[in-house]
Amino acid sequence: MKKKQVSIIGVPMDLGQTRRGVDMGPSAIRYGGLYERLTDLGYTVHDKGDITVDILENAEQSGTSNLKNLESVTEASECLAKKIEQIITDGHFPLVLGGDHSIALGTLAGVAKKHKNLGVIWYDAHGDLNTPDTSPSGNIHGMPLAASIGIGHSALINIGGFSPKVKPEHVVIIGARDLDAGERKLIKEKGIKVYTMHEIDRLGMSAVMRKTIDYLRERTEFVHLSLDLDGLDPTEAPGVGTPVAGGLSYRESHLAMEMLEESSIITSAEFVEVNPILDEKNKTGAAAVALIASLLGEKLL
Ligand SMILES: NC(=[NH2+])NCCC[C@H](N)C(=O)O
Ligand SMILES: [Mn+2]
Ligand SMILES: [Mn+2]
């Protein structure tokens, strides 16, 4: 029998925001035992190592307004997109380790090039739907979802040479609890499906995931999971740069991964924003590993 193949790619990116240390996220997740966890599940694991990313000291500053480190972020994104394309061509499951959430620009460019009719699950405390005009910070990690639906600065929109990567009505955001004014406006205008913490509290994670899976099954053929560890509550995932109180529990997050695994809809995934400098004994890195394992089939019994 042919074994299932997973290709891992690390993106040591910290230029999409300003808290240093998130570039060490891929190492922290690997250190948490990822390779062994996946081989134990029966996967053949190809760790392709890390993408080359500029360090802050050498990042070019063109001063493009409200877009910090734009050149270095787009350069790494183009490189990541090509690697992802190759992984999908090889028939492997792409698993991307971040790095701040700006890396989704490259991941989605690569995935969308190969997979038409793509859906995206954005598991996050934030919407990451800002543009340079609406961003309160100028941090690109707050913009990748907007850029992927074709809104924002042309340099971000056109990674991979095409736009959009995904239709707004094929996006589901889960866990949101810190949305900026411009993001709320965009959500309403574009009809993006969002399960905020309010809906998750009311309906429960099980119903939310059932609805999410049905919604994307009806509309798309492939689904990318972009999981920001700050979607979890900071007590359970303290190693993130932009923590927001009142988040998803460790168990709710596992249930979400288990239901996605059962549904077989996920065709690529990324786990981002793990910052070991801000973490407590790699708690957040270990949580990432455990969630990846659940997503890829690890069972409690
Ligand atoms: N991927 C993230 N953690 N994003 C946080 C974004 C925070 C804020 N909304 C901003 O745009 O600056
Ligand atoms: Mn976030
Ligand atoms: Mn995010």
Torsion of CA 254, 175, 264, 116, to 10 degrees: -150
> Which parts of the chain have pLDDT scores under 50?
1
Tell me how far apart the alpha carbons of residues 176 and 187 are, in angstroms, rounded to a whole number. 12
Residue 124 is labelled as binding a ligand: yes
- Could you tell me which of 17, 221, 4 has the C-alpha nearest to residue 104? 17
CATH number at residue 50: 3.40.800.10
Asked if residue 300 is part of any domain, the answer here is no
List of residues 6+ apart from 84 with CB closer than 8 A: 9, 94, 96, 106, 107, 109, 110, 111, 114, 268
Residue from 18, 68, 124, 128 whose mutation best tests the ligand 1 pocket (most atoms within 8 A of CB): 128
> For this structure, is 46 an active site residue?
no
Say whether 54 is catalytic.
no
Catalytic site includes residue 124:
yes
How many domains are there within the chain? 1
pLDDT on residue 1 = 47
Q: Determine the structural domain holding residue 92 and report its residue range.
A: 5-295
198 annotated among ligand-binding-site residues: no
Q: 92, 141, 170, 224: which one is catalytic?
A: 141
Instruction: Answer whether residue 16 is part of any domain.
Output: yes
Q: Does the annotation list 101 as a binding residue? A: yes
Q: What is the pLDDT of residue 11?
A: 99
CB 128 within 8 A of CB 81: no
Q: What pLDDT does residue 7 have? A: 98
Query: What is the position in ligand 1's atom list of the atom closest to the CA of 272?
Result: 1
Instruction: Give the ipTM of the model, two decimals please.
Output: 0.98
What pLDDT is stored for residue 3 in this prediction?
67
Domain presence at residue 138:
yes
The answer to whether position 247 is within a domain reads yes
Question: For residue 193, is it left (φ>0), alpha (ψ between -120 and 50) or beta?
Answer: beta
Determine which one of 23, 85, 100, 228 is catalytic. 228
For residue 74, being part of any structural domain is answered with yes
First to last CA, the chain: 24
Task: Select which of 100, 128, 252, 258 is catalytic.
Answer: 128
CB neighbour list of residue 238: distance below 8 Å, 6 or more residues apart: 278, 279, 280, 283, 284
In a domain, 13, yes or no: yes
pLDDT at 2: 56
258 part of a folded domain: yes
Would you state the pLDDT for residue 282? 98
- Ligand 1 atom 11, closest CA: 142
The DSSP result for the chain, as a single string, is -PPPEEEEEEE---TTSS-TTGGGHHHHHHHTTHHHHHHHTT-EEEEEEE-----GGG------TT-TTHHHHHHHHHHHHHHHHHHHHTTPEEEEEESSGGGHHHHHHHHHHH-SSEEEEEESSS-----TTT-SS--GGGSHHHHHTT-S-HHHHTGGG-S-SS-GGGEEEEEE----HHHHHHHHHHT-EEEEHHHHHHH-HHHHHHHHHHHHHHH-SEEEEEEEGGGB-TTT----SS--SS-B-HHHHHHHHHHHHHHT-EEEEEEE---TTTSSTTHHHHHHHHHHHHHTT----
Q: Which ligand is nearest to the CA of 125?
A: 2
The whole-angstrom separation of Cα 208 and Cα 189 is 22
201 annotated among ligand-binding-site residues = no
Mean pLDDT of the chain: 97
What does the pLDDT look like over 117-156, one tens digit per residue? 999 999 999 999 999 999 999 999 999 999 999 999 999 9
Answer for the pair 97, 148: CB distance below 8 angstroms, yes or no: no
In a domain, 178, yes or no: yes
The DSSP code sequence of 44-99 is: EEEEEEE-----GGG------TT-TTHHHHHHHHHHHHHHHHHHHHTTPEEEEEES
Name the maximum alpha-carbon separation found in the chain. 54
Please say if 128 is a catalytic residue: yes
- 170 catalytic? Reply is no
